[in-house]
């Protein structure tokens, strides 16, 4: 991910003119050397892929072996309807075909298989790993693999449940130059892993942490205990999830009303549905974050981002064990 | 996705999108995915290479084609069963009148200039159609909702006016690089390659200089800028160079008063900069067959980020002039500066740098110079995608009648109270807004000396943003514009234009009430006239003062002349954020670097009259 010595070509300069005016030539060179893996191609990740392919990263590798269905098409604009009809191509292959046309300078490829089954060396090919719609167990597993590699691999999760969305970021130990007026000072951030973050006792968290954080943990736990895939829920699950919420909240020293019924209902009812506008917002935020992490420019998100179309707020939450909060 | 009532509202909605650029591409995609079935889209632009890094519906092979039409085709590939109607046209065209707007349930703007935004705002008010307005600049963006009777209109808050520079700063005393750019682009480029008949301050200065110099070397009628038949393009380029960077500076230096408190500029001649052997023959340009003429290319300069030395700038200047005369001779006389014209950008960069060098101003790279000269947008795909998502969320609220939950949302670069996306409740309408209320305006003007033309151009068109105005005094028509007027009416109006207000057939004097109307925008304003003899030439350069609206705005200090094509009406961001933080009595001075800029591509070009010159008005 080190900046390249060679200059951008005339074509790159012409194509990237407007964004170079935003983040500079050095950032653009670093982008062109970065390799990004995306597993799970839903509305939010498709938006993200569009953004980073346009921005001009070195390569994007897609993983998603599903065949096209109504569910897949929901918020996906990369699959031309006439082409998939008679094909046995995977979602990853169809999306790769479209993305290649967005920017010929980006290497777009696809792989089949389960990311959680890949060995550590596989991950070394990438600078950034993004997973979408993974179970809590697999998210934690993949996060740990990334953390164990010698090179630093930035790890992100992104999930959209209808009008609500969550992004998690782990940049491990991340050093960057922060702009303070005209000065630049070196800043270091220490990120907890996903497992560390969600194991922090709830009562130790600031009182104003968005309720969505807790609701998403209840939902993930529910899916885990019931052996459901992410989003395999419906309103019929409300009684059992309410009970789980009560147990979890009480075990954490919080009242069960801390996570409102209406919020749980909304997330259960959403199932696998994605709100395309919310996908665009989440994919946009994640795109910016990945560009920041690669280029070392700008304050990166630490470590959760939430959006809910109901109130329109896009919130950053720092859920870290106290020792990692301070730089 | 949404609730049943929401999805019904979406399915039944007919929406108009204005703009198919950075925000427009993202918006059309998100609307289609969200289930909208009937979308109309207007955009007059064609696709350019520098669009392709973010306007993802377009490909290299589409360059030159209509944005609206290509965007339509691209979206139909993944949502073939919806109706998209594309108009490759200007939203200000008469076909898009109030009746046209009335057919829509909501109008969504993804525009890049103030003028069109104001026009659409007025049509939405007249047609009583809700408007969702948007803008982005780099990582910043905003979405606002404007519904007549419920929220403020887009024009309730004054927008920043284009940055203007006093003429003498540009012609005689530049102190910033941007002044050199304006000079190179508006004066020198226009003089050499544009319309020769246009009034141009290079011309004015030149003739007055000659008389001051009194060296008798040239008679006043002979124009240095005329190329004589026996002159080679190379000789001509050198003559121009020595004149504008050499003898003109010498002439300016003779005015000691000017330099009392200023650093004196240094005259530069070709012979000072280039070695002897280059001075006569000129550079040998390798002719790249079939490619676009480029001075950089002929000179082997590759990196647009690099700052050229004075001698490199000199070579580029001479080579660019030569290439214009040898390769693009047919266009000479009709050219206007275009940021996508490589040779024009090279010429302007070199000329601005040589002038900067003369005045001790740091030089800039072609990349930077191009940004300043072209008022280039700072734009990234991600912000546009986020803003388009927010537009759709507001549009759905508008369509399902959820007015309690309308929000204006700001997309920030640095979080404010943990928020990157910050929603606030819409503002109420400004009761003194001349657009959405009937409050009359007050125009102070010297009615004995000011011509009707000045009132029409500087007030009615420029300040009030009217397109085809009609001016009435009581029931008498004073002035009117439009395609369907009789020839004798047109002639009559033309005569009126050159008359002072008191000399009009129905004289306009102190206390007169004028009614100004734009039929297409269905906007009427009443203007009360107050006579005043004197105006402060520095503070009131128009010689007129219009009040009654929320008053003038000044741009924040940190403004930058490069401007935003797909920009927000960014001044609003700062004002509103300050208000929000004021509400809480803390968080003052949010670290928000709003690049407040004016939107049009030609903003930098606007020159204000220099206060100390004679009372010569430009329009005569």
The verdict on residue A89 lying in a domain is: yes
The nearest CA of chain A is from the CA of B276 a distance in Å of: 33
B421 close to A282: Cβ distance less than 8 angstroms: no
Q: Do A22 and A113 belong together in one domain?
A: yes
Q: Do A21 and A165 belong together in one domain?
A: yes
Euclidean distance between CA atoms B218 and B226, whole angstroms:
13
The nearest CA of chain B is from the CA of A319 a distance in Å of: 12
> What DSSP designation does A171 have?
-
For residue B96, the SS3 value is: coil
Interface of A with B in 35-54 (CB under 8 A): 43, 47, 50-51, 54
The verdict on residue A325 lying in a domain is: no
Residues B565-573: what's their mean pLDDT? 40
Q: Per the structure, how many domains does chain B have?
A: 3
Taking contacts as CB-CB distances below 8 angstroms, the residues of chain B near A75 are 33
Of all residues in chain A, the one with the smallest CA distance to B411 is: A314
Give how far Cα A285 sits from Cα of A279, A301, B385, Å. 10, 9, 9
CATH code for the domain of B74: 3.40.50.720
Q: Do A95 and A187 belong together in one domain?
A: yes
- Apex A292 CA angle, A288 and A295, nearest 5: 135
A316 close to A77: Cβ distance less than 8 angstroms: no
Of all residues in chain A, the one with the smallest CA distance to B74 is: A80
**Among candidates A20, A102, A315 on the partner chain, residue whose Cβ is nearest the Cβ of B418:** A315
Q: Do A182 and A220 belong together in one domain?
A: no
CATH code for the domain of A64: 3.40.50.720
> What pLDDT, in 10s, does the model give residues B31-42?
999 999 999 999
A257 and chain B in contact, CB less than 8 A:
no
Q: Do A109 and A35 belong together in one domain?
A: yes
- Is B153 within any annotated ligand binding site? yes
In this prediction, residue B201 has a pLDDT band, given cuts at 50, 70 and 90, of low
Q: Which has more confidence, B425 or B539?
A: B425
Determine, for residues A284 and B382 on separate chains, whether the beta-carbon distance falls below 8 Å: yes
- Is the pLDDT score of B602 beyond 80? no
Euclidean distance between CA atoms B488 and B40, whole angstroms:
40
User: What's the confidence (pLDDT) of residue B582?
Assistant: 32
Determine, for residues B303 and A7 on separate chains, whether the beta-carbon distance falls below 8 Å: yes
Euclidean distance between CA atoms A176 and A209, whole angstroms:
26
B275: number of Cβ within 10 Å: 8
Q: Do A90 and A159 belong together in one domain?
A: yes
User: What's the confidence (pLDDT) of residue B162?
Assistant: 64
> What pLDDT, in 10s, does the model give residues B368-383?
999 999 988 788 899 9
**Among candidates B376, B388, B396 on the partner chain, residue whose Cβ is nearest the Cβ of A280:** B388
Q: Do B453 and B536 belong together in one domain?
A: yes
The verdict on residue A5 lying in a domain is: no
Alpha-carbon dihedral angle through residues A137, A141, A146, A148, given to the nearest 10 degrees: 140
A14 close to A287: Cβ distance less than 8 angstroms: no
The verdict on residue A3 lying in a domain is: no
The verdict on residue B483 lying in a domain is: yes
Catalytically active residues of B are 168
The verdict on residue A109 lying in a domain is: yes
The verdict on residue B590 lying in a domain is: no
Residue ranges making up the domain that contains B80: 4-158+378-424
B26 close to B416: Cβ distance less than 8 angstroms: no
A106 close to A12: Cβ distance less than 8 angstroms: no
Give how far Cα A17 sits from Cα of A173, A293, B378, B559, Å. 32, 21, 9, 21
Q: Do B151 and B185 belong together in one domain?
A: no
Q: Which has more confidence, B214 or A222?
A: A222
Residue to mutate among A280, A293, A299, A307, with most B CBs inside 10 A, is: A280
Euclidean distance between CA atoms B502 and B196, whole angstroms:
35
User: What's the confidence (pLDDT) of residue B358?
Assistant: 96
The verdict on residue B560 lying in a domain is: no
Residue ranges making up the domain that contains A310: 10-192+274-320
Distance of CA A192 to the CA centre of its chain: 16
Work out the angle between the directed axes of helices B381-399 and B22-33 (0-180°, nearest 10): 50
Q: Do B225 and B352 belong together in one domain?
A: yes
- Is the pLDDT score of B204 beyond 50? no
**Among candidates A17, A78, A299 on the partner chain, residue whose Cβ is nearest the Cβ of B414:** A299
Determine, for residues A288 and B423 on separate chains, whether the beta-carbon distance falls below 8 Å: no
A64 close to A92: Cβ distance less than 8 angstroms: yes
- Is the pLDDT score of B421 beyond 50? yes
- Is B20 within any annotated ligand binding site? yes
User: What's the confidence (pLDDT) of residue A292?
Assistant: 94
Q: Per the structure, how many domains does chain A have?
A: 2
User: What's the confidence (pLDDT) of residue B511?
Assistant: 84
- Is the pLDDT score of B589 beyond 50? no
The nearest CA of chain A is from the CA of B78 a distance in Å of: 5
The nearest CA of chain A is from the CA of B375 a distance in Å of: 11
User: What's the confidence (pLDDT) of residue A71?
Assistant: 83
- Apex B170 CA angle, B265 and B207, nearest 5: 80
Q: Do B18 and B87 belong together in one domain?
A: yes
Q: How many CB pairs under 8 A join A and B?
A: 171
Q: Do A161 and A176 belong together in one domain?
A: yes
Taking contacts as CB-CB distances below 8 angstroms, the residues of chain B near A80 are 77-78
**Among candidates B30, B381, B415 on the partner chain, residue whose Cβ is nearest the Cβ of A277:** B30
- Is B202 within any annotated ligand binding site? no
Residues B565-584: what's their mean pLDDT? 39
Taking contacts as CB-CB distances below 8 angstroms, the residues of chain A near B139 are 22, 288, 298
Euclidean distance between CA atoms A275 and A261, whole angstroms:
21
What is the secondary structure of B585-620 as a DSSP string? T---S----------STTGGG-EEPPTTS-S--S--
The verdict on residue A103 lying in a domain is: yes
The verdict on residue B48 lying in a domain is: yes
Taking contacts as CB-CB distances below 8 angstroms, the residues of chain A near B411 are 314
- Is the pLDDT score of B208 beyond 50? no
Torsions phi, psi for B58 (to 5 deg): -110, 150
CATH code for the domain of B497: 3.10.290.20
Euclidean distance between CA atoms B103 and B38, whole angstroms:
11
Taking contacts as CB-CB distances below 8 angstroms, the residues of chain B near A50 are 56, 381, 385
Euclidean distance between CA atoms A192 and A259, whole angstroms:
24
**Among candidates A54, A273, A313 on the partner chain, residue whose Cβ is nearest the Cβ of B56:** A54
B383: number of Cβ within 10 Å: 31
Of all residues in chain B, the one with the smallest CA distance to A317 is: B418
Q: Do A141 and A184 belong together in one domain?
A: yes
Q: Do B62 and B153 belong together in one domain?
A: yes
B138: number of Cβ within 10 Å: 21
Residue to mutate among B23, B25, B31, B33, with most A CBs inside 10 A, is: B33
- Apex A71 CA angle, A67 and A77, nearest 5: 85
For residue A169, the SS3 value is: strand
Q: Do A279 and A261 belong together in one domain?
A: no
Instruction: Look at residues B529, B547, B565 and tell me which one is the last residue of a structural domain.
Output: B547
The verdict on residue B608 lying in a domain is: no
- Apex B150 CA angle, B149 and B151, nearest 5: 110
The verdict on residue B613 lying in a domain is: no
Of all residues in chain B, the one with the smallest CA distance to A78 is: B78
Q: Do A251 and A280 belong together in one domain?
A: no
Tokens of B453: 């033309």
Instruction: Look at residues B370, B398, B424 and tell me which one is the last residue of a structural domain.
Output: B424
Q: Locate the DSSP E strands across chain A.
A: 35-39, 59-63, 107-111, 128-132, 154-161, 164-170, 173-180, 183-190, 304-308, 313-317
Please name every residue paired with A172 in a beta bridge, in sequence order, or none if there are none.
Answer: none
Q: Do A180 and A229 belong together in one domain?
A: no
Instruction: Verify cis geometry, omega within 30 degrees of 0, for the bond prior to A303.
Output: yes
User: What's the confidence (pLDDT) of residue B277?
Assistant: 65
B428: number of Cβ within 10 Å: 10
Q: Which has more confidence, B474 or B104?
A: B104
B356 close to B362: Cβ distance less than 8 angstroms: yes
The nearest CA of chain A is from the CA of B77 a distance in Å of: 5
Range name among A4-18, B8-22, B293-307 with the lowest pLDDT average: A4-18
CA-only gyration radius of chain B, Å:
27
Determine, for residues B423 and A313 on separate chains, whether the beta-carbon distance falls below 8 Å: yes
B1 close to B35: Cβ distance less than 8 angstroms: yes
Which of the residue ranges B391-405, B522-536, B566-580 has the most confident prediction, judged by mean pLDDT?
B391-405
Instruction: Look at residues B501, B526, B547 and tell me which one is the last residue of a structural domain.
Output: B547
Determine, for residues A22 and B418 on separate chains, whether the beta-carbon distance falls below 8 Å: no
The verdict on residue A144 lying in a domain is: yes
Residues B340-352: what's their mean pLDDT? 95
**Among candidates B392, B411, B419 on the partner chain, residue whose Cβ is nearest the Cβ of A315:** B419
A79 and chain B in contact, CB less than 8 A:
yes
Q: Do A156 and A291 belong together in one domain?
A: yes
Q: What is the mean pLDDT of chain B?
A: 82
Q: Which has more confidence, B289 or A67?
A: A67
Taking contacts as CB-CB distances below 8 angstroms, the residues of chain B near A41 are none
Q: Do B212 and B354 belong together in one domain?
A: yes
B511 close to B425: Cβ distance less than 8 angstroms: no
- Is the pLDDT score of B610 beyond 50? no
Euclidean distance between CA atoms A134 and A140, whole angstroms:
10
Provide CB contacts within 8 A for A180, sequence distance 6+.
none
The nearest CA of chain A is from the CA of B423 a distance in Å of: 6
**Among candidates A43, A51, A314 on the partner chain, residue whose Cβ is nearest the Cβ of B420:** A314
User: What's the confidence (pLDDT) of residue B548?
Assistant: 76
Output the tens digit of pLDDT for each of chain A's 327 residues.
444 457 788 788 888 988 998 888 999 999 999 999 999 999 999 999 999 999 999 999 999 999 988 888 889 999 988 766 667 899 999 999 999 999 999 999 999 999 999 999 999 999 999 999 999 999 999 999 999 999 999 999 999 998 999 999 999 999 998 888 788 888 999 999 999 999 999 988 988 899 999 999 999 999 999 999 999 999 999 999 999 999 999 999 888 888 999 999 999 998 889 999 999 999 999 999 999 999 998 899 999 999 999 999 999 999 997 654 444
Interface of A with B in 304-323 (CB under 8 A): 305, 307, 309, 311-317
Euclidean distance between CA atoms B25 and B75, whole angstroms:
9
């Amino acid at each position: 991910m080190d900046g390249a010595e060679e200059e951008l070509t005339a074509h790159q300069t012409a194509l990237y003119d407007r964004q170079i005016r935003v983040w500079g030539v050095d950032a653009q060179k670093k982008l062109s050397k970065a390799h990004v893996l995306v597993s799970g191609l839903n509305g939010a990740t498709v938006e993200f892929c569009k953004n980073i392919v346009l921005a001009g990263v070195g390569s994007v590798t897609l993983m998603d072996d599903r065949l096209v269905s109504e569910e897949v098409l929901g918020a996906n604009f990369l699959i031309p309807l006439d082409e998939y009809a008679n094909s046995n191509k995977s979602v990853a292959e169809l999306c790769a075909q479209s993305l290649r046309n967005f920017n010929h300078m980006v290497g777009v490829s696809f792989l089949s298989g389960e990311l959680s089954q890949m060995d550590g060396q596989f991950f070394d090919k990438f600078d950034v790993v993004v997973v979408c719609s993974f179970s809590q167990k697999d998210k934690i597993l993949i996060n740990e693999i990334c953390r164990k590699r010698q090179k630093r691999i930035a790890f992100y999760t992104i999930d959209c449940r209808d009008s609500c969305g969550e992004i998690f970021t782990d940049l491990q130990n991340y050093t960057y130059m922060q702009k303070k007026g005209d000065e630049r000072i070196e800043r270091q951030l220490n990120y907890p892993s996903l497992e560390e973050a969600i194991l922090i006792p709830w009562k130790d968290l600031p009182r104003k942490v968005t309720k969505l954080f807790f609701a998403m943990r209840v939902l993930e736990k529910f899916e885990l205990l019931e052996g459901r895939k992410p989003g395999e829920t419906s309103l019929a699950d409300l009684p059992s999830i309410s009970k789980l919420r009560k147990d979890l909240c009480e075990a954490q020293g919080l009242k069960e009303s801390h996570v409102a019924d209406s919020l749980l209902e909304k997330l259960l009812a959403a199932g696998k549905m994605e709100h395309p506008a919310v996908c665009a917002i989440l994919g946009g935020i994640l795109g910016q974050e990945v560009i920041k992490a690669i280029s070392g420019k700008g304050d990166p998100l630490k470590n959760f981002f939430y959006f809910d179309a109901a109130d329109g707020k896009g919130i950053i939450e720092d859920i870290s064990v106290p020792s990692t909060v301070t730089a | 996705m949404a609730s049943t009532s929401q999805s019904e509202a979406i399915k039944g909605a007919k929406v108009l999108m204005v703009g198919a650029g950075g925000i427009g591409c993202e918006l059309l995609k998100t609307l289609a995915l969200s289930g909208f079935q009937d979308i109309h889209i207007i955009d007059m632009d064609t696709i350019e290479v520098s669009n392709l890094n973010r306007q993802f519906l377009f490909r290299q092979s589409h360059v030159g084609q209509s944005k609206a039409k290509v965007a339509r085709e691209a979206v139909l590939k993944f949502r073939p069963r919806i109706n998209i109607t594309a108009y490759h046209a200007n939203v200000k065209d008469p076909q898009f009148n109030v009746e046209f707007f009335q057919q829509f349930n909501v109008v969504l703007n993804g525009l890049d200039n103030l003028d069109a935004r104001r026009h659409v705002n007025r049509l939405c008010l007249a047609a009583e159609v809700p408007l969702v307005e948007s803008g982005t600049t780099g990582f910043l963006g905003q979405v606002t909702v404007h519904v007549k009777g419920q929220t403020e209109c887009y024009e309730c808050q004054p927008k920043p006016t284009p940055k203007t520079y006093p003429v003498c700063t540009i012609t005689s005393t530049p102190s910033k690089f941007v002044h050199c750019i304006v000079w190179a682009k508006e004066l020198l480029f226009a003089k050499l390659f544009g319309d020769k008949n246009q009034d141009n301050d290079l011309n004015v200065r030149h003739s007055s200089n000659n008389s001051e110099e009194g060296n008798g070397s040239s008679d006043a009628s002979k124009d240095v800028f005329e190329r004589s038949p026996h002159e080679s393009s190379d000789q001509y380029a050198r003559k121009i160079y020595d004149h504008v960077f050499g003898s003109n500076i010498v002439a300016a230096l003779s005015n000691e008063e000017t330099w009392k408190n200023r650093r004196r500029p240094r005259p530069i001649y070709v012979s000072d900069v280039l070695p002897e052997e280059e001075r006569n023959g000129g550079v040998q340009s390798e002719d790249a067959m079939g490619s676009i003429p480029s001075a950089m290319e002929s000179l082997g300069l590759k990196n647009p980020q690099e700052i050229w030395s004075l001698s490199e700038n000199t070579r580029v200047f001479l080579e660019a002039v030569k290439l214009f005369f040898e390769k693009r001779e047919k266009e000479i006389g009709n050219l206007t500066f275009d940021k996508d014209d490589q040779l024009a950008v090279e010429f302007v960069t070199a000329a601005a740098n040589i002038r900067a060098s003369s005045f001790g101003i740091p030089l800039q790279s072609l990349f930077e110079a191009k940004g300043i000269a072209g008022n280039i947008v700072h734009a990234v795909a991600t912000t546009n995608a986020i803003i388009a998502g927010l537009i759709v969320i507001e549009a759905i609220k508008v369509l399902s009648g959820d007015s309690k939950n309308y929000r204006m949302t700001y997309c920030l670069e640095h979080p404010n109270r943990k928020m990157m996306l910050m929603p606030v409740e819409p503002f109420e309408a400004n009761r003194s807004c001349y657009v959405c209320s009937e409050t009359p305006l007050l125009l102070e003007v010297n009615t004995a000396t000011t011509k009707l033309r000045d009132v029409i151009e500087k007030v009615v068109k420029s300040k009030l943003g009217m397109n085809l105005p009609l001016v009435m005094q009581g029931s008498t028509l004073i002035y009117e514009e439009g395609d369907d007027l009789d020839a004798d009416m047109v002639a009559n109006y033309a005569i009126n234009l050159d008359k002072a207000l008191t000399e009009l057939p129905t004289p306009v004097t102190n206390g007169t009430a004028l009614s100004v109307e734009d039929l297409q925008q269905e906007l009427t304003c009443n203007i009360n006239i107050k006579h005043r003899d004197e105006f402060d030439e520095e503070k009131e350069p128009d010689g007129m003062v219009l009040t009654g609206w929320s008053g003038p705005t000044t741009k924040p200090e940190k403004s930058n002349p490069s401007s935003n094509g797909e920009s927000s009406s960014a001044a609003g961001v700062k004002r509103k954020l300050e208000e929000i933080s004021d509400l809480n009595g803390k968080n003052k001075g949010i670290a928000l670097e709003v690049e407040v800029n004016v939107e049009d591509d030609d903003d930098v070009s606007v020159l204000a009259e220099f206060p100390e010159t004679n009372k010569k008005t430009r329009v005569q």
